[in-house]
Structure 1
Amino acid sequence: MRSTPGLTHVIGIVNIGVMIVAVVALLVLPLGHDGANVEHAAKPAPKTAPPALPEVPAPPPVTATAESARNVGANEAGMVPVLMYHRIMKKRLASIDRTPSQLRGELEKLAKDGYVPITAAEFVAGAIDIPAGAHPVVLTFDDGHPSHFALGTDGMPKKDTVVQIIYDVASRHPGFRPVATFWINANPFGLRDTARQAAAVGWLVEHGFEVANHTFGHPDLYRLTKKKIAESIVRQQRLLERLGAPRSATFALPYGSRPKKRSNARDGKWDGTSYHFDAVFLAGAEPAISPYAKDFDRYNVPRIQSNGKKGECRKWCSQYWLEWLRKHPDRRYTSDGDPSHVSIPSRFRGKILAKLDGVLITY
């Protein structure tokens, strides 16, 4: 199954364009020695209990049938937007930056259109447990920028950080699950102090966010030897382990740049430590296909840059694709509400993995 006829063959070209833009963006602000913005002399977060965050109850148990799947227009062979963000800044300094109001506006539109966030790890595992009639969306944030997460003196996420904005939207839209994936480098969220790094990672993991490997120094993997690729990934893997993060099931390519031997991005070994990722994510430029589809390539998962429709984004970034999916509801992933079954219109039966025949519902 292909998401849109005639578009897949140009993904590589668009990836290169997105990669170049990302390089420029990363050079705009002064960076630390390892490629991360640095926060100096940060005060430790208070140990008092913070105010309660909005909670989203789990979807009620549903046993899907052909009739119930038809009633909600279930199509679990459909397309899933995996959105890619970088810095969130009040004043944008590069095309891939977004402002807090732009991020909030996009999340509000997603919530109103019936999208429910899941993590990248949940997506590639096919662990999509959302209400019947809802659509999954994967929110991904690269580089562990300070604008992504920080706690205020009240122990709550700081205003206009990514996590605060996600919770703000979730508080107004019941069912909008407050989760996302953060692919981080060294000095996550601009923190140098190990204790604060561990506290930040621990907070996010405890609250259902995915924190995973984006290499230690954010190099262009295409330019590196196999050994240097493995070193950059393993060094970050060891850091994540020290900070208490779970094993990284997913990996996002810095700049969207693939190694000359693509398998080096998912498997390797350095200094006695090996690594393996269940999925590798690119930097653009169309929706991903369902993880239940025969053609799903877990080691080349496309993402959509969050942006408007100007210039190279005219037909490649989030505003275009979210409008396209709204106009083509039969092409997007719509849940049957039952994570133990896969429901699809009968015309898509040949697109689904054969191993799922025992749990497949067609109508």
Structure 2
Amino acid sequence: MNRLKVVRTGMVAAAVGSLLAGCASGQNDSHDTNAGAAKPAAAKSAAAAQQATLQAKLAKAAQAHANELGQIPVLMYHRVVDKPTTQDDRTPQQFRTELERLAREGYVPITAAEYVTGHIDIPAGKHPVVLTFDDSSPSQVTLDGTGNPMPNTAVGILEEVAKKNPGFRSVATFYVIRDLFGKENLPEEAAQILLWLHDRGYDIGNHTRDHKNLHGKSKEQVTAEIGAGQELVSKLINFKPVTLALPYGNQPSTKEWGLKGGSGNAGYDFGGVFLAGYTPAESPFSKKFDPLGIPRIRSMDKKGDCAKFCSTAWLDWLKAHADERYTSDGDVKTVAYPKFKTPFLAKRFTDRALGY
């Protein structure tokens, strides 16, 4: 009997609740009808807006001839000195001339860190170039007493060219070793230079501490040397390099040792490992991109071996084969390319794909 009473009570309560709900809805039936009709209309409007946005992005990419699966020159420099003593040295005038050519031909410098992470934020129609400097020579950056770079250093020249060419960014990546721009035994002054670079958007990379050839070394030796290079920077400023340039371009017997290893403060997990030279690099969005061995191009004129394989020759080639060169659509959130290149897109970037 009690069970029947409970059930009846529940049925009455439910009926009252239903009645109240019906009264409430009945007070504004016409409004609800309009709202129901408005929902599909709003959805259609949102879909139309999204489609219009997509079409605008596709049109912009097509107008820019965007190809974000194209090749990117990663240029390799060492010393910038008045009297070169090795084939890797460039004079201030040679360096300035090459930068002016890059600006004239629509290149915009990005850092190695930006490149390997795919954060290539440059205007539509422009082409990225990565400027890298090995061995942390004083000729690359020396600060005067007021904290400004000396005029004929690499940074001084880069800043000068950037001022004369709006949109040409004054950024580069410096692969440091223990010399630390001639400040090995002056930690405060070394830290001062690293902070100056970091605060202005320049990138600091790992080139190992002692610039030892890693080829043929044991895993322990390889990871210790790279880890020491990581600690060299992190002890001076609050920053850990995210890319490595291999000394002499020589890979360890197991390539993966160069990408990840070490322990504690000396641990590393890089986004990319750079070689010493040879060809333009693949887009970070391409299936061909290999973070274990990213090629660079030696800065040099067309002569000898460099008639085909150094910066002047490769910049000529990229100019003549514009469809092979990375060209931006101006939107860092998308990866734009001619639709027929879709098979070359790495799957992890499918959600950013913009094939036109």
Q: Which residue of 2 aligns with 1:109?
A: 101
Please list every run of 5 or more consecutive structure 1 residues that lacks an aligned counterpart in the other structure.
Answer: 1-61
Offset, 1:198: 0.6
Query: CA offsets, 1:50-89, max 9 Å, x none?
Result: xxxxxxxxxxxx9861111111111101110000001111
Q: Which residue of 2 aligns with 1:261?
A: 254
What is the aligned counterpart of 1:228 among 212, 215, 221?
221
What is the aligned counterpart of 1:170 among 162, 170, 176?
162
Q: Which one has a bigger Cα radius of gyration?
A: 2
What is the rounded CA distance, in whole Å, between the counterparts of 1:226 and 1:74 in structure 2?
42
Contact 1:81 1:138 in 2 (8 A): yes
Note the aligned Cα RMSD (angstroms). Answer: 1.5
- Name the CA shift for 1:272/1:329 in 2 (closer, same or farther; >3 Å): closer
Q: Which residue of 2 aligns with 1:286?
A: 279
What is the rounded CA distance, in whole Å, between the counterparts of 2:266 and 2:275 in structure 1?
24
What is the rounded CA distance, in whole Å, between the counterparts of 1:285 and 1:119 in structure 2?
19
What is the rounded CA distance, in whole Å, between the counterparts of 2:231 and 2:335 in structure 1?
37
What is the aligned counterpart of 2:65 among 67, 73, 76?
73
1:124 aligns with 2:116: yes
Query: CA offsets, 1:23-46, max 9 Å, x none?
Result: xxxxxxxxxxxxxxxxxxxxxxxx
Offset, 1:263: 1.5
What is the rounded CA distance, in whole Å, between the counterparts of 2:194 and 2:86 in structure 1?
27
Q: Which residue of 1 aligns with 2:172?
A: 180
Contact 2:230 2:266 in 1 (8 A): no
Offset, 1:245: 4.6
Q: Which residue of 2 aligns with 1:295?
A: 288
* Amino acid paired to 2:283: S
Q: What is the total number of aligned residue pairs between the two structures?
A: 302
- What aligned pairs does 1:77-92 form with structure 2 within 5 A after superposition? 77-92=69-84
Offset, 1:156: 1.1
- Give me the TM-score of the superposition, normalised by structure 1: 0.81
- What aligned pairs does 1:15-26 form with structure 2 within 5 A after superposition? none
Q: Which residue of 1 aligns with 2:314?
A: 321
1:216 aligns with 2:209: yes
Offset, 1:153: 2.4
1:305 aligns with 2:298: yes
Q: Which residue of 1 aligns with 2:131?
A: 139
What is the rounded CA distance, in whole Å, between the counterparts of 2:209 and 2:215 in structure 1?
16
Offset, 1:262: 1.5
* SS of alignment partner, residue 116 of structure 1: strand
Please list every run of 5 or more consecutive structure 2 residues that lacks an aligned counterpart in the other structure.
Answer: 1-52
* SS of alignment partner, residue 284 of structure 1: coil
Greater helix proportion: 2
Identity rate, percent: 44
What is the aligned counterpart of 1:156 among 141, 148, 168?
148
* Amino acid paired to 1:354: K
Contact 2:230 2:267 in 1 (8 A): no
Offset, 1:272: 8.1
Ranked by relative contact order (alpha carbons within 8 Å, sequence separation 6 or more), the top structure is 1
What is the rounded CA distance, in whole Å, between the counterparts of 2:102 and 2:268 in structure 1?
34
Q: Which residue of 2 aligns with 1:359?
A: 352
